[in-house]
C-alpha cells in the first residue's frame, strides 16, 4: 500500500481566518472525495464544544478552528459539506454529522462510513467494534496513536502541534481504508447495502439530535407505586423464611427485623430453596418458579416482577435526560446486530415495557406542547417476509385474502373451517399455530415447541408436520437456508446483506451443538435482516418526505417494526398517512407477493 501521506509527519493547514478558509476551499472544492472528522471537548453535541473540524484531501488535511471562525457562516464550507456530489469519508460519521449540524447548522450529505462498512463486511464474525486504530492497521499498515484523542476532553487551550498532527491523520487515513474496502463491497455484492446504511446514518443522526421527551414526574410516580408494592412483598418474603436462618430474629438499631437473605442473590436463593426447603431447583428463573409448589417461590416471582421494573427502568434512565434539551437522546446503533437490525442504548428505549395498568411506562413518552406523536408499525411483517421468500402459495393466499393468519393456519392444520370467530372458538389451536409460525422463524424444533405449549414432544412433532403439510414450501425453504449457510459460510438477505459464520473444529465436543446453532441463525437471518432492510428504507424515505413537505417534526424512535415521530399538531394527521404509506413503500421493495400493511395513529402518549 502506497500512502499519499507520511504517518509520522502528515501535511496539514491550520485555519483560523477567512483567507485561510478560502484557500483551503479552493482545493477542497476540486476534490470528488474528501475526508471529514471533528474533535470536541466531549461526546455530547448539545453539551460539549467543537474544537476542530478537519476536512482533507488524500494528502492534506485542513483543520478548521470553530472557535476562531464561525463555520456556519462560511457559505462555501456549507456548500461543500452539503454538496451531494462530493463523497465525505468518515469513521462513525453519525458523530461528526451530529456535532457539525448542532453547532454550525451545516447538514452533511453523501457520507461514506468506514466503521459501518467494516461492520457490514464482517457481520456475525470478528469484532463488534471497528475502531479507526484497528482499520488503520488492517488497511494502511501503520499504528495510529490514540493517546492524543483524550487530550481534547474538556480542553480549553490553544490547539497544540501534536493535536494538529493527530487530527490531520484522522482524515488522511480514511482514504487508504476507503480504497481497501470498496473492492470488497463490490466483490461481496454489498454496494447497495452500504448505500442504505450511509443514507440511514443521516436519519439516525437527526433522530438522536431531536431525542424524545419524557414526563419525568409521571415516571417517578410509577416507580414510587411499584416500590411500595415491592417492599411489601419483600417484607412478606423475609417473614416467611426467617425461621430458617440463625439471624432470623435479629433486629437493627431501630428494632426492624434484619433481612435473612439478599433476595437479588441467586446464590442465596438457591441455598434457601435447595438446602433449607429441599426443593431441588436447577435455577430460580421464572419458568422454574412457576412449577414449584411452595408459597415462597410464588412470593419471589411476584417480587421479581416489581424489582425488575424498578431496577431496569428506574432513576438511572431519568438521570440520562439531557440537561440542555430536557430530553432523552439514546444511542441508536444501526449495525448493532448481526442481522442488520438497530440496537439502542443509554438508555435502551427498545426495551421499555409495554403499557400495563400498574406500569404504564410508555405513556410517559410524550410530545412537546403543540406536537403529537405519530406511531406506525408493520403488521406481522416477518410472517409476510416468510410467505414472500418461501413463495408458499397457501401462505401467500392467506395474506392476499387478509385472513387472521394464525387462525387460518390452525384451520388448515386441524381441518376446521376458517371463519372470523375462529379465534374465539379454538383459542388453543390458534395459539399452537401461532407458536409454530414464530418458532419456525427462529429454527425451533419439536422439543422447544413442546416446552412452549406444555405438550409432549411427540405431539409437538405431529403439530409441526401438520404445519409443514399446510404450507408445503416453507420447510424446504428453511432447510435450504441452513444448508446453504453451512456450505457457503454465510447467509444473505435478498438485498445482499450478509451474515458470516465461524465454524467449530470437527473435534470440538460441541461441534453438533454449534452447527445446529448456525443452522437456526441462518434460518432467521434472511427474515429478520429483510425486516431491517425495510425499516432502514422507510426511515430514509420518511426523512426525505419530512424535508420535501416542509413538515415541522422529526422521527424520534424506531423499534424494529415500529416508527414513532413527533409532529406539529396541525400536521400530524396528514403525516400519519404519509408515515404508513412510506413504510409500505419500503416494505414492498422486498415483499412483493403479499401486501405490506402499516397502520399509523396520532396520540399524546407512546402507546402500542
Site residues for DNA per CB under 7 A: 262, 264-268, 283-287, 289, 301, 304-305, 308-309, 311-312, 314, 316-317, 333, 336-339, 341, 343-348, 350-354, 435, 438-439, 442-449, 451-452, 510, 512-513, 516-517, 520-521, 524, 528, 559-562, 608
Residue with Cβ nearer DNA (68 or 515): 515
- DSSP summary character for residue 131: -
Residue with Cβ nearer DNA (406 or 520): 520
Residue with Cβ nearer DNA (37 or 302): 302
Residue with Cβ nearer DNA (62 or 306): 306
Closest distance between DNA and the C-beta of residue 449, in Å?
Answer: 7
Residue with Cβ nearer DNA (382 or 582): 382
Cα–Cα dist 401/573, whole Å: 28
Could you tell me which residues are beta bridge partners of residue 177? none
Cα–Cα dist 603/567, whole Å: 10
Residue with Cβ nearer DNA (41 or 516): 516
CB-neighbour burial class of residue 423 (10 A; exposed 0-12, middle 13-18, buried 19+): middle
Closest distance between DNA and the C-beta of residue 534, in Å?
Answer: 12
Strands (E), 471-552: 490-492, 498-500
Residue with Cβ nearer DNA (51 or 584): 584
Residue with Cβ nearer DNA (27 or 455): 455
Sheet holding 553-558, edge to edge: 553-558, 562-568, 371-378, 598-603
Q: Which residues contact 370 (CB under 8 A, 6 or more apart)?
A: 568, 569
Closest distance between DNA and the C-beta of residue 283, in Å?
Answer: 3
Closest distance between DNA and the C-beta of residue 353, in Å?
Answer: 4
Helix (H, G, I), strand (E, B), or coil: what is residue 118?
A: helix
Residue pair 485/479 in contact by the 8 Å Cβ criterion: no
Closest distance between DNA and the C-beta of residue 137, in Å?
Answer: 20
**Pairing, β 498-500 against β 490-492:** antiparallel
Closest distance between DNA and the C-beta of residue 295, in Å?
Answer: 17
Counting every residue, how long is the chain? 608
Return the axis-axis angle of helices 472-488 and 393-400, rounded to nearest 10°.
Answer: 120
**HSE-up (13 A, CA, CB side) for residue 473:** 11
Cα–Cα dist 324/312, whole Å: 24
**Pairing, β 331-333 against β 343-345:** antiparallel
Strands (E), 26-141: 33-40, 50-56, 60-64, 87-90, 111-113
Residue with Cβ nearer DNA (103 or 492): 492
Cα–Cα dist 63/54, whole Å: 4
Residue pair 100/81 in contact by the 8 Å Cβ criterion: yes
Residue pair 104/72 in contact by the 8 Å Cβ criterion: yes
**Which residue do the cell numbers 376458517 mark?**
418
- 479 closest CA partner among 388, 347, 390, 591: 390
Closest distance between DNA and the C-beta of residue 480, in Å?
Answer: 17
Residue with Cβ nearer DNA (202 or 309): 309
Closest distance between DNA and the C-beta of residue 95, in Å?
Answer: 17
Closest distance between DNA and the C-beta of residue 439, in Å?
Answer: 5
Closest distance between DNA and the C-beta of residue 496, in Å?
Answer: 18
Amino acid at each position: 500500500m502506497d500512502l499519499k501521506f507520511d504517518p509520522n509527519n502528515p501535511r496539514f493547514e491550520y485555519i483560523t481566518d477567512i483567507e485561510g478558509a478560502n484557500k483551503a476551499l479552493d482545493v477542497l472544492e476540486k476534490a470528488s472525495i474528501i475526508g471529514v472528522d471533528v474533535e470536541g471537548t466531549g461526546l455530547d453535541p448539545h453539551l460539549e464544544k467543537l474544537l476542530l473540524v478537519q476536512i482533507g484531501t488524500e494528502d492534506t488535511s485542513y483543520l478548521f478552528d470553530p472557535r476562531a471562525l464561525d463555520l456556519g457562516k462560511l457559505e462555501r464550507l456549507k456548500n461543500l459539506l452539503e454538496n451531494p456530489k462530493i463523497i465525505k469519508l468518515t469513521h462513525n460519521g453519525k458523530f461528526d454529522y451530529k456535532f457539525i449540524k448542532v453547532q454550525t447548522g451545516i447538514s452533511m450529505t453523501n457520507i461514506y462510513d468506514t466503521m459501518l462498512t467494516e461492520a457490514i463486511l464482517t457481520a456475525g464474525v470478528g469484532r463488534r467494534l471497528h475502531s479507526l486504530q484497528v482499520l488503520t492497521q488492517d488497511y494502511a499498515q501503520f499504528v495510529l496513536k490514540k493517546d492524543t484523542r483524550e487530550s481534547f476532553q474538556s480542553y480549553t487551550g490553544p490547539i497544540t502541534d501534536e493535536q494538529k498532527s493527530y487530527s490531520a491523520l484522522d482524515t488522511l487515513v480514511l482514504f487508504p481504508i476507503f480504497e481497501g474496502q470498496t473492492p470488497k463491497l463490490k466483490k461481496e455484492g454489498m454496494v447497495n447495502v452500504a448505500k442504505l446504511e450511509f443514507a440511514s446514518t443521516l436519519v439516525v443522526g437527526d433522530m438522536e439530535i431531536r431525542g424524545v421527551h419524557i414526563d419525568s414526574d409521571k415516571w417517578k410516580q410509577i416507580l414510587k407505586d411499584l416500590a411500595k408494592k415491592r417492599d411489601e412483598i419483600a417484607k412478606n418474603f423475609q417473614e416467611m423464611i426467617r425461621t430458617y436462618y440463625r439471624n432470623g430474629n435479629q433486629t437493627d438499631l431501630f428494632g426492624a427485623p434484619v433481612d435473612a437473605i439478599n433476595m437479588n442473590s441467586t446464590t442465596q436463593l438457591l441455598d434457601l430453596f435447595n438446602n433449607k426447603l429441599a426443593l431441588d431447583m436447577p435455577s430460580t428463573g421464572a419458568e422454574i418458579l412457576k412449577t414449584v409448589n411452595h408459597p415462597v417461590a410464588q412470593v419471589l416471582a411476584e417480587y421479581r416482577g416489581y424489582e425488575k421494573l424498578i431496577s431496569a427502568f428506574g432513576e438511572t434512565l431519568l438521570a440520562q435526560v439531557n440537561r440542555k434539551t430536557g430530553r432523552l437522546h439514546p444511542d441508536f446503533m444501526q449495525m448493532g446486530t448481526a442481522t442488520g437490525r438497530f440496537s439502542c442504548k443509554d438508555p435502551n428505549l427498545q426495551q421499555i415495557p409495554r403499557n400495563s395498568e400498574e406500569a404504564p411506562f410508555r405513556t410517559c413518552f410524550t410530545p412537546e406542547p403543540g406536537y403529537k406523536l405519530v406511531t406506525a408499525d408493520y403488521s406481522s411483517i416477518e410472517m409476510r417476509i416468510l410467505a414472500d421468500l418461501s413463495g408458499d402459495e397457501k401462505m401467500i393466499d392467506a395474506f392476499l385474502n387478509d385472513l387472521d393468519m394464525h387462525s387460518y393456519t390452525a384451520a388448515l392444520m386441524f381441518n376446521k373451517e376458517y371463519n372470523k370467530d375462529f379465534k374465539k372458538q379454538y383459542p388453543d389451536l390458534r395459539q399452537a399455530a401461532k407458536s409454530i409460525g414464530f418458532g419456525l422463524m427462529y429454527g425451533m424444533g419439536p422439543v422447544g415447541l413442546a416446552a412452549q405449549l406444555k405438550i409432549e414432544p411427540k405431539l409437538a412433532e405431529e403439530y409441526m408436520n401438520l404445519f409443514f403439510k399446510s404450507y408445503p414450501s416453507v420447510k424446504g425453504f428453511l432447510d435450504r437456508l441452513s444448508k446453504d449457510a453451512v456450505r457457503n459460510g454465510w447467509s444473505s438477505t435478498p438485498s445482499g446483506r450478509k451474515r458470516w459464520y465461524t465454524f467449530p473444529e470437527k473435534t470440538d465436543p460441541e461441534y453438533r451443538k454449534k452447527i445446529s446453532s448456525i443452522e437456526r441463525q441462518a434460518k432467521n437471518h434472511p427474515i429478520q435482516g429483510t425486516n431491517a432492510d425495510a425499516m432502514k428504507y422507510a426511515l430514509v424515505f420518511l426523512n426525505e418526505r419530512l424535508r420535501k413537505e416542509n413538515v415541522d417534526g422529526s422521527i424520534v424512535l424506531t423499534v424494529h417494526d415500529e416508527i414513532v415521530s413527533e409532529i406539529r399538531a396541525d400536521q400530524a394527521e396528514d403525516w400519519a398517512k404519509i408515515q404508513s404509506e412510506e413504510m409500505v413503500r419500503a416494505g414492498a421493495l422486498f415483499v412483493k407477493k403479499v401486501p405490506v400493511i402499516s397502520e399509523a395513529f396520532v396520540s399524546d402518549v407512546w402507546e402500542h
